[in-house]
Structure 1
Amino acid sequence: MTQVSIKRLSSSQSDFAQQLDALLAWESVSDKRVNQVVDDVIAQVKARGDQALVEYTNQFDRMQAQSMAELELSPERLAKALHDLPAEQRAALETAATRISQYHERQKSDSWRYMEADGTHLGQQVTPMDRVGIYVPGGKAAYPSSVLMNALPAKVAGVKEIIMVVPTPDGVVNELVLAAAALAGVNRVFTIGGAQAVAALAYGTATVPKVDKIVGPGNIYVATAKRAVFGAVGIDMIAGPSEILVICDGKTNPDWIAMDLFSQAEHDEDAQSILLCPDADYLNDVQVSIEKLLPTMERQAIIKTSLETRAALILVADLAEAAKISNRIAPEHLELSVEDPEALLPAIRHAGAIFMGRYTAEALGDYCAGPNHVLPTSGTARFSSPLGVYDFQKRSSLIMFSPEGASEMGKVASVLARGESLTAHARSAEYRILD
């Protein structure tokens, strides 16, 4: 067994609120040094385009490219990756892609109109974005699931062109990632990453086309760059480290819960895993399971660091209090590992994704449940939603007045415009007033 020192908190402690705040504290893009590096990279890419991209890729990813032509993968290369996949991997990838597409089809919004009594037409026209960029991490781990989760909603939305960037440190290419790109209908793939890739997508170069929106997770440099280019392009969110919060009634196999906590802790050392339970003995059981199972994990060093620096086992009075604390945390992933999750669900107001019941492991959501795994982190589930088809659609208001409608509303607009001392507004509306 491996000794793991995990914070133990109790909601009955007088300073619990302060301890919880300290546990949750995280700002992913406030590092001044990182901001300076990112600003410099963006400025260079804007000024020198492809040349800067090649130089940064060689520097940061230890490549030896001479031109951008060497950093773009052809459609044939992507198709070959899909064709050559082992049958079991291809079947799993295709099953996940089908489920993700089916789920997101239900999110599509249609244009709509209605007509008022005087013949005035009002409505909304929904159209897809023309071109989007998806960032796929390629450093500590490769994520074919991220390709599917970012590209397929864009495809369902009707986006015509999807540009993917994925770093390949030391020239190591993940075939499963390329296969996922082929399966998801990605149009172009560049083996670039970091702030330089974000800048290229935001502003365009001779080779990399400018996109309308950039989506997908990345490290602190990617997150900082996304914040910096917002306005020139849209972004999905500023993603922090992965998180899981488990509310358990103390009756789920503790090994299952320990492994669910591991499933996020293994992402990186800054990931956060929290368990809320009203049974103190059960928290002890989970601690025992953690120490028993940790030596069996390939990424045990990362998991151990994550658990010891950012995890907590928290004793609560009851499940109702657990729900209140969960809403305070607003977690990215929330497991309701309880006897009756439907009864607890109405108390949950803030969560990126909610996994209901003992058998619903968060890991299923990462790969093949269907809902998107690109989720708000760091408490932003209070005001943000999972990535979806709606992120790749735009809505335009439609207004067509009849002569009678323009006359009547012209009188209203005239009064309001003159009240704001905007005479041209008033007279523009007054011209349409019928005698």
Structure 2
Amino acid sequence: MNYETVRDTNPTIADTLQEERTRQNESLSMIASENHVSEAVMEAQSSELTNKYAEGYPGARYYGGCEFADEVEELAIEYAKELWDADHVNVQPHSGSQANMSVYLAVLEPGDTILSLDLNHGGHLSHGHPANFAGQIYDVEQYEVNPETGYIDYDELHETAEHVEPDIIVSGYSAYPREVEFERVQAAADAVGAYHLADIAHITGLVAAGVHRSPVGIADFVTGSTHKTIRAGRGGIVMCDEEHADAVDSAVFPGTQGGPAMHNVAGKAVGFGEALEPAFEAYAERTVSNAKALGDRLQEHGLSLVSGGTDNHLVLVDLRPSHPNTTGKDVEEALEAAGIVLNANTVPGETRSPFDPSGIRAGTPGLTTRGFEEDACREVADLIGEVVDAPDDEAVVSATRDRVDDLTDSYPLYT
């Protein structure tokens, strides 16, 4: 893709798009919520469907000319049902956060109570942070991970639920490196008559491939992002049983958004279709084994991992035990200068500002898409460890940049 048509219209935008393509090619994306979609997904997302309004659902649109939009959306739904073994699927949400919003709108009233994991302990803004719509419309109570182990204490979650009597319990997280025991969350919800929303935004692909347990058929609602470990078109998804199908569909449209972004739905359909191929299971398995190799080697460098390791695609590093005077932002900026892109992140028991927290979060979905295996991830961990030890040393950062260049040349992304 050379953006020549864009260049004819706006050379500045074309240059910027090309620079972003170069940046992705020549750096290592380790932001746990990012991935690299196939060129087929990108082509679908830039299709003529971007021109089409399709308010409503297949067979019941408010506009004419939707026959091909219907076909694409029906395929996306069919593939999603097969991937996650779901009874009902809505593929229209523009994001995982809007998917969550639609569930809240479907079954809650303003002032109802959400019980969710605290953001500093690995939760997400859309689970009830006061800066987010969820925290402004609903009452929010929160549970935490055990500060000693880094694991969710499901017994304590159950006790908290009995104490606060929430209307909905949210499981699923943005910075939790361990497998989620959805059955135990469901037991807590059943005990107090609450709904259970499982947000699998990060692990959609791992669940689809069977390398992480699935909440489908356990939780009342399952939401997710479609562009992270599943590598499909950018957006969100809601799954539920038929009992809640009408309420969810009405909450998505017209409840929380107007017309679906049909070009993104096309990208979802293409990506879901790719995930049904046998190679995707191997990809998901390698994503997890790569994360374990990364985490183990980081610990060999003396870095402390929240919960002591990982079961999924990410590791969460607490810098305080080994580098008490170094913040996550210090490391994030130094690593980005070296060509490794990850993010500063809060950690359980956080004592610093979320804008300059005590940890870093690193994921392997993007590296695995490039073709990295465990040895290459160990090498990346070596590079991270060296930069963490000397984030202000320009010679170390420069040498790391050179080694990153070798890795990106060896594992090309887009040609």
Q: TM-score, normalising length from structure 1?
A: 0.25
